[in-house]
Structure 1
Amino acid sequence: MKPLDPRLVRTADAVRVHLAVSVASGVLLTGLILAQAWLLAYTITGAAEGAGTQTLGWAIAAVAGVAVARAALSYLAETSALHSAARTKSQLRRRLVAHVTGSGRVWTAEPGVDGEAGSPKAGELVTLATRGLDALDDYFARYLPQLVLSAIVPLAVLAVVFWADWISGAVILVTLPLIPVFMALIGMHTQSRTDRQWRLLSRLGGHFLDVVEGLPTLAVFRRAKAQAAVIRRVGEEHRRATMGTLRVAFLSALALELLATLAVALVAVEVGLRLLGGYMDYQTALLVLILAPEAYLPLREVGARFHASMEGVAAAEQVFTELDRTRGAHRRAGGAEAGDRREPEAGARDRREHAPTGGVSPTTGGDIRMEGVGVRYPGRDLPALSGLDLEITAGEHVLLTGPSGAGKTTLLSLLLRLHEPGEGRISVRAPGGDWTPLEDVPAEDWRRGIAWVPQHPYLFDVSVADNIRLGAPDASMERVREAARRAEADAFVSALPEGYGTRLGERGARLSAGQRQRIALARALCRDAPLVLLDEPTAHLDPENAAAVRTAVARLLEGRTAVIVAHDTGWARDVLGAAPRVATLPPRSLERSVAR
């Protein structure tokens, strides 16, 4: 594990500022250490020779002033370090959140392929962004400053000791490298332990989130106690890993302290013998004895701080791994083979990224054309889509059918820009414009013109109004109410305890499935987007709720381009008309789809 990950320096400007401050503080602190040592040696020698306070008063005051200056400098340096740590954590969290939710990319948990690590689950990602990065405080406030001091103080002390007494300097020069050698040996032994401790903590967080979310299902199937036992087992493994790391940390601290103590004792013995023999004056001996421990102290502190800071470094490395995996996964998402996007095949297009403009792309209200589109997910044998040809004209309503696993949801994910095709191309054309590759349209601008209603819409633990205006944050309350009315949701929302101000609970727990679906439709109506994507909007609903949803869908589709995924096409024909446009996807074992 690197003492200073260069990716941290490149990514967070706070790290660069902190390094500059640490170096400046280290230089000043080194000067104060040398000055204090000389002043102490001068004062003690003068007192031993009978000099009074009139002669030594300035030196005593200077010693006190240096001590105060060292304390103040240490305080300011640690305060600056904690501030830098907070800024760095904030920057890393923002980058992680941006890669998970923004910048045209959408995070999805994926298994590893070709020996690569897969992406973390949601719980592991939460642990990484919170508890994991919080451990960077020790790294910035204690380990990194000591690392800088360990590079400056020993060399400065060694130079002064050589100038004062070359024999003592030679002893320090020989014994000093032993400490970093032992540190490296201990570090190589403990790195795997630290990594395992972090992996177990992430696993524990992810598994606990899974169990909490699935607790009703586990209770029904009488598996709650079994999962509690799994959590206890994982927690016990994490405890043992943590205690093992702490044992090694204590033993390494003991070894480094013992080594440094023996080295200082060796210097003290040879200085004492030469002082008794009259080969060294008292002030020089005192100067060497005061400075000798200072040469080893920064290295000992680095070893002591190493273990406390490595959890944060491991978390930062995991963040960078996730950022790199996110970039690679979106290049591979539709690749012909898992992992083959490292070296694109001949004819494959570079995935270019375009800066968003902040507005709705005019292409979302135009025509869409798919030519030979294919998608293959990493680690899967069969393609999710293969050789798909489909054209959707502006204002057309297309009913997408086919057996389970035929790729209907994958097609919607392509239109949502959650994935990109590994083969073929998707082109779009604004009204009155020319055909443009979809990848040349900024993903954010494209999504601004889409209203999406999934089969299981996600409602957040905020008010009904905030859930409806999710896609239109600036929508007025009148617009929210109108969208709810058109979605057949106004009646039950008004009956809630606080009406549109009622919090819905996690995942909309206060509402039934049909009510959640109508809130999602109200969200789409409030967004007022030119392109509508619906995924099984009436699946698993009772007849009464399904009828309300069908009414709301008919209102939503008026004057818009729409792609509707459905198994039961009867209701869709009622909504779309007697002769809707139907595109049928065959099973994945077939090579091409048929659009009719």
Structure 2
Amino acid sequence: MKPLDPRLVGRSHGVRSLLVLTAGLGLASAGTVIAQAVVIATLVDQLFSSRPLTHTAWALAGVFLVRGLLHWANSSVSERAAVTVKAELRHELANDLLDARRLGPAPDPAAVTAIMGPGFDAFDGYVSRFLPQLVLVCLVPPVVIATMFFVDPASAAIVAITLPLSVAFMVLIGLMTRDKLSRRWESLERLSLHFAQVLDGLVVLKLFGRRQERNLTAVGQRHRDETMRSLRLAFLSSLVLELVATLSVALVAVSVGLRVVDGGMDLRPALIVLLLAPEAYLPVRQLGMMFHDSTEGAAAVTVALDLLDHDRQTGGQNAPSLRTSTIRLSNVSVQHPSRSTPSLVIDELEIHPGEYVAVVGPTGCGKSTLLDVMLSFIVPTAGHITVAGTDLREIDPDQWRHQIAWVPQVPGLIAGTISDNVRLACAVASDVNVRQALDDAGAADLPLSRTVSEAGSDVSAGERRRIAVARALLRVRVGGAQLVLLDEPTAGLDDDREASVLASLAALDATVVVVAHRQATISAATRVIRVQTPTAVIA
């Protein structure tokens, strides 16, 4: 795991600004460190030689003041940057999850929950303390060692030789920490996912008397154990870094002290070297103290950037009107990396405007994948989908989906009224339009004002599906959609409601493609497409 992921620098303006400002403040801080050592050494030398101290004392006060102001400026810039970077990434991640151009599998809910909650909180220490300190480590020690070289080359050589030992120990500690941190992050994701699953199934668990306190306690204990292991390693590694720095400064002090006693070195340069030696190690020691606090932030950065790092649709052409355009699939196949066989294979298929097509086939043959391909959620691994001669890859996905009404196998709901859920298809629809759509979807018994939860625990599977069908009808009648894609829309409905739904779909002035298993749904279609693995045959 890298201390600073290059993707973060390229993606975040806040991080780039922080690094530039911190570099400038770091160089100024290095200058004040050197000035402080020179002024203090001069002041002590003047004390022993009985010379006036007024100007030197004022100079020392000025150096202290400037160094304090630089420290305040660095802290202020860093804290503001942490807030900015966290807001940038959270906003970008939220927009990316809802981006119409997003391709690839849906992200793991546990990873999203972990990063959007406690994961982003770890950015505070990482951005506000670790990254500025990383810049100081790159700038201050070289400047200090160069200054020591002009004063006393022997002492500079000792520091130049021993300082890399501290860096080497930090690298070794980082390698030891990587696996422990990975296990801690996995335990946090597992805890988030387990808790979310318990909440989702709380009603069923209570019904069957399955108590989850013991399981939650065990998962939480594993997370605590991993956290304590990380803390123990942090304390031990800090001790090692402090020991190396202390011994290195002692070598410089012994060397300088012996030469001062023998008269081979004056007091003033000796004091300058003694004061600068600890300052060369200080940024590295402080970075070591912050390292373990930052590893969680670095891990969160990696997770967030991995979620953002995926393929996107690039098409920008206007979508042809589906009222007059034929959709053609030629040698289309979809191969998922996790499967050894293709998810969908279609040699040739045409869907003409105004058709009512039923897609049938055995489970797992790719019927739902076909809808995903037509919705432009998935780009075919091979072959082409053209609309009026234009490749679907080249069409703007937002414009394309604006012409489509979609009913998935498990329709989504929002917290609100049934009217709010149906109006997702068309926000400007009137209550009369919504009521008519529900009636035609076999949901005449559902009042517009009835409230439903996002999880849908207060509606049946049939009611959920009827709401989704009403949503699709409204999108065609009021929203102007010209293609309706449905994945088993009548599953869970009785015969009367199924007949109502099928009659409403047949009456639509749009192209209808329905994935079906029930015979009534298949019989209502004007054409049947039989999908098999690995080929598709048009009946």
Hey, what's the Cα distance between the residues in 2 that align with 1:494 and 1:462? 10
Structure 1 residues 595, 393: closer, same or farther in 2, change over 3 A? Answer: same
Shifted more, 16-25 versus 538-547: the winner is 538-547
2:508 aligned partner: 558
Structure 2 stretches lacking a partner, 5+ long: none
Deviation at 1:494, TM superposition (A): 3.9
CA contact (8 A) 2:320 2:387 kept: no
**Maintained 8 Å contact 1:396/1:562:** yes
CA distance in structure 1 between the aligned counterparts of 2:317 and 2:71, rounded to whole angstroms? 46
SS of the residue aligned with 1:398?
strand
Partner of 1:506: 454
Superposed, 1:200-279 pairs within 5 Å as 200-220=187-207, 223-225=210-212, 228-279=213-264
Distance, in Å, in 2 between the alignment partners of 1:168 and 1:189 is: 32
Name 1:582's counterpart in structure 2. Answer: 527
Say whether 1:436 aligns with 2:390.
yes
1:63 and 1:74 mapped to 2: Cα distance? Answer: 16
1:595 aligned onto 2:529: no
Q: How does 1:144-543 map to 2 (within 5 A)?
A: 144-220=131-207, 223-225=210-212, 228-324=213-309, 326-327=310-311, 353-355=314-316, 361-363=320-322, 366-429=325-388, 435-472=389-426, 475-476=427-428, 479=430, 481-488=432-439, 492-496=446-450, 502=451, 504-524=452-472, 525-526=474-475, 527-542=479-494
Is the Cα–Cα contact under 8 Å of residues 357 and 529 in structure 2 kept in the other structure? no
Alignment deviations for residues 147-179 of structure 1 (CA, whole Å, 9 cap, x no partner): 211122112222222222233223322322221
Contact 2:373 2:380 in 1 (8 A): yes
Once the two structures are TM-superposed, the CA of residue 122 in structure 1 deviates from its matched residue by 1.0
* Cα shift at 1:261: 1.2
* 1:41 match: 41
> Which stretch has the larger CA shift, 142-151 or 542-551?
542-551
**What is the rounded CA distance, in whole Å, between the counterparts of 1:361 and 1:490 in structure 2?**
35
Q: Structure 1 residues 307, 364: CA separation in 2 closer, same or farther (over 3 Å shift)?
A: farther
Structure 1 unaligned segments of length 5 or more: list them.
110-119, 331-351, 430-434, 497-501
Q: Structure 1 residue 26 and structure 2 residue 23: aligned?
A: no
The equivalent residue for 1:335 is none
Kept in 1: contact 2:407–2:469 (CA 8 A): yes
Q: Quickly say closer, same or farther: Cα 1:480–1:529, change in 2 above 3 A.
A: farther
Following the alignment from structure 2 to structure 1, what is the Cα–Cα distance between the partners of residues 356 and 219?
51
Query: TM-score normalised to the size of structure 1?
Result: 0.82
Instruction: For 1:379 and 1:281, locate their aligned partners in 2 and report how far apart those are by CA, in whole Å.
Output: 72
| 8 Å contact from structure 1 (residues 365, 449) kept in 2 | no
Q: Secondary structure at the match of 2:446?
A: helix
Q: CA deviation at 1:230?
A: 4.2
Structure 1: how far apart are the matches of 2:496 and 2:151? 95
Partners of 1:37 and 1:290 within 8 A in 2? yes
AA paired with 2:278? P
Question: How far apart are 1:2 and its partner, in Å?
Answer: 2.4
For residues 288 and 384 of structure 1, do their structure 2 counterparts lie closer, same or farther at Cα, with a shift above 3 Å needed?
closer
Distance 1:20 1:463 in 2: 51
Report whether the alignment pairs 1:77 with 2:38: no
Q: Distance in 2 between matches of 1:40 and 1:361?
A: 78
Question: What amino acid is the match of 1:15?
Answer: V
Aligned length: 532
Alignment partners' CA distance in 2, 1:137 and 1:61: 37
Letter in 2 for 1:254: L
Q: Is the CA contact 1:521–1:553 (under 8 Å) kept in the aligned structure 2?
A: no
Quote the offset at 1:315 in angstroms: 2.1
What SS does the corresponding residue of 2:484 show, helix, strand or coil?
Answer: strand
1:86 equivalent to 2:73? Answer no
| Structure 2 CA distance for partners of 1:221 and 1:73, relative to 1, 3 Å | same
Q: CA deviation at 1:513?
A: 3.2
Structure 2 Cα separation of the partners of residues 190 and 571 of structure 1: 58
Q: 2:53 aligns with which of 56, 59, 62?
A: 56
Residues 569 and 253 of structure 1: CA distance in aligned 2, closer, same or farther (over 3 Å): same
The answer for the alignment partner of 2:128 in structure 1 is 141
AA matched with 2:259: R
Instruction: Give the conservation status (yes or no) of the 8 Å contact 1:534–1:564.
Output: yes
One-letter code of the match for 1:541? L
- Quote the Cα distance in structure 2 between the aligned partners of 1:206 and 1:121: 9
Shift of 1:3: 2.7
> What per-residue deviation string (whole Å, max 9, x for no partner) do you get for residues 490-521 of structure 1?
7633453xxxxx5x322233433343333323
Deviation at 1:220, TM superposition (A): 4.5
- Distance in 1 (alpha carbons) for counterparts of 2:435 and 2:55: 82
Relative to the length of structure 2, the TM-score reads 0.90
How many Å apart are 1:458 and its aligned residue? Answer: 0.5
Equivalent residue letter for 1:585:
R
Distance 1:160 1:528 in 2: 74
- How many Å separate the matches in 1 of 2:119 and 2:220? 16
Secondary structure of 2:315 counterpart: coil
Q: Which amino acid aligns with 1:67?
A: F
SS in 1 for 2:423: helix
Instruction: Tell me by how many angstroms 1:94 deviates.
Output: 4.2
The letter of the residue matching 1:492 is: L
CA drift at 1:56: 2.8
SS of aligned partner of 1:370: strand
Identity of aligned residues (%): 40
Shift of 1:361: 4.6
**Cα distance, 1:298 vs structure 2:** 0.5
Contact 2:322 2:483 in 1 (8 A): no
- Contact 1:374-1:383 at 8 Å conserved across structures: yes
Higher relative contact order (CA 8 A, sep 6+): 2
Letter in structure 2 aligned against 1:207: H
